[in-house]
């Protein structure tokens, strides 16, 4: 198509591409600078039980950008993954989450609290991954039993036996595992029962289609059924309305994460919430 539009258009098209490449490069450099400057931090989105108590939180990467304000991963994850910088961001988030959890574990309000951390798409298979995670536990002094690592179904497709080995090596130290965005991949019951799992996280696309979408309702029922037959916890993410929460409760899902209950917040805000009588 570009050809039939003549040389001028081709040139224009090239410049557009050049501009995109240049923008990626600038972003990559900016991420690098931001990492060196300590601008990447972990924020925490609390998770609630059906009585409205906080039972844990998910650590989520945020970039406190000096000019652009607080940026969520959507603004940098593609470029960070493409350039290998996501490993540094992941490491930083794991480290600060574990350090924070070690501090929180000293407070009585955090008695049975678990902190979930996202594992990047290719990290499970990188050489030294297990050792790196164990080293962070040792350095921060966190009880690995308070940490839950979130993986996705697609991460398991490449090398299932390898994934099981690594997960089991960490599991031996007490770490828990959740499958994030569950329902968007291809997991079968047979497949799931081989993994050392603790939790399925219902993907937010299904949750947000409640209460009127029958397909999503069917998928959610199936996920809850799978979790029950495998003896796993189930949590819904992206819960935005009371109607969604009520329906999830009726279907047998009793753990919730979503804007209805709380947005991701800096550590101090979550701590204040935990220490207020309403949530403890």
Residues near ligand C2E, by CB under 6 A: 45, 60-61, 72-74, 77, 86, 90, 93, 118, 120, 150, 180-181, 204, 237-240, 257-259, 264
Query: Which residues touch 2 (CB under 8 Å, ≥6 apart)?
Result: 9, 10, 13
Q: Is 180 in the site for Mg ion (CB under 5 A)?
A: yes
Give 30 or 237: the residue with its C-beta nearer to ligand C2E: 237
Q: Measuring CA to CA, how many Å separate 78 from each of 24, 35, 122, 254?
A: 10, 16, 13, 33
| Residue 34 binding result from ligand C2E, Mg ion, none, given CB thresholds of 5 to 8 Å by partner type | none
Helix, coil or strand: residue 182: strand
Report in angstroms how near the CB of residue 199 gets to Mg ion at its nearest. 11
Report in angstroms how near the CB of residue 88 gets to ligand C2E at its nearest. 11
Give 157 or 172: the residue with its C-beta nearer to ligand C2E: 157
Cβ atoms of residues 63 and 75 within 8 Å: yes
Report in angstroms how near the CB of residue 6 gets to ligand C2E at its nearest. 42
Q: Is 199 in the site for Mg ion (CB under 5 A)?
A: no
What is the C-alpha to C-alpha distance for residues 49 and 55, in angstroms, rounded to an integer?
6
Q: Output the CA torsion sign for 94, 99, 102, 107.
A: negative
Bridge partners (DSSP) listed for residue 117 = 59, 149
The pair of structure tokens assigned to 229 is 């037959």
What is the C-alpha to C-alpha distance for residues 52 and 220, in angstroms, rounded to an integer?
21
| Residue 73 binding result from Mg ion, ligand C2E, none, given CB thresholds of 5 to 8 Å by partner type | ligand C2E
Give 73 or 225: the residue with its C-beta nearer to ligand C2E: 73
Q: Is 118 in the site for Mg ion (CB under 5 A)?
A: yes
Buried b (16+ CB within 10 A) or exposed e, 23-39: eeeebbebbeebbeeeb
Give 150 or 153: the residue with its C-beta nearer to ligand C2E: 150
Torsional class of 90: left (φ above 0), alpha (ψ -120 to 50), beta (otherwise): alpha
Q: Is 181 in the site for Mg ion (CB under 5 A)?
A: yes
Give 109 or 240: the residue with its C-beta nearer to ligand C2E: 240
**Residues near Mg ion (CB under 5 A), total:** 4
Report in angstroms how near the CB of residue 254 gets to ligand C2E at its nearest. 17
Report in angstroms how near the CB of residue 203 gets to Mg ion at its nearest. 6
Positions that interact with Mg ion (CB under 5 A): 118, 150, 180-181
């Amino acid at each position: 198509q570009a050809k039939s539009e003549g040389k001028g258009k081709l040139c224009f098209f090239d410049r557009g591409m050049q501009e995109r490449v240049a923008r990626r490069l600038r972003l990559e450099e900016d991420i690098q600078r931001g990492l060196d400057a300590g601008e990447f931090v972990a924020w925490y989105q609390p998770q609630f039980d059906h009585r409205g108590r906080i039972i844990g939180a998910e650590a989520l990467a945020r970039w406190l950008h000096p000019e652009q304000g607080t940026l969520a991963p959507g603004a940098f994850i593609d470029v960070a993954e493409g350039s290998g910088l996501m490993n540094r961001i992941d490491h930083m988030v794991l480290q600060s989450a574990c350090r924070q959890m070690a501090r929180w574990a000293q407070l009585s309000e955090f008695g049975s609290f678990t902190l979930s951390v996202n594992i990047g798409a290719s990290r499970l298979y990188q050489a030294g991954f297990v050792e790196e995670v164990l080293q962070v536990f040792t350095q921060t002094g966190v009880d690995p039993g308070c940490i839950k690592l979130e993986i996705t179904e697609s991460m398991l497709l490449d090398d299932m036996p390898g994934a099981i080995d690594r997960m089991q090596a960490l599991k031996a130290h007490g770490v828990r595992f959740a499958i994030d965005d569950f329902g968007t991949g291809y997991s079968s019951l047979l497949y799931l029962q081989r993994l050392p799992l603790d939790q399925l996280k219902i993907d937010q696309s299904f949750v947000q289609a409640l209460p009127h979408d029958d397909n999503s309702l069917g998928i959610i029922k199936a996920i809850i059924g799978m979790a029950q037959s495998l003896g796993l916890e189930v949590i819904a993410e992206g819960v935005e309305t009371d109607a969604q929460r009520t329906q999830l409760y009726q279907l047998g899902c009793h753990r919730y994460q979503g804007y209805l209950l709380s947005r991701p917040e800096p550590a101090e805000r979550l701590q204040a919430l935990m220490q207020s009588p309403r949530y403890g």
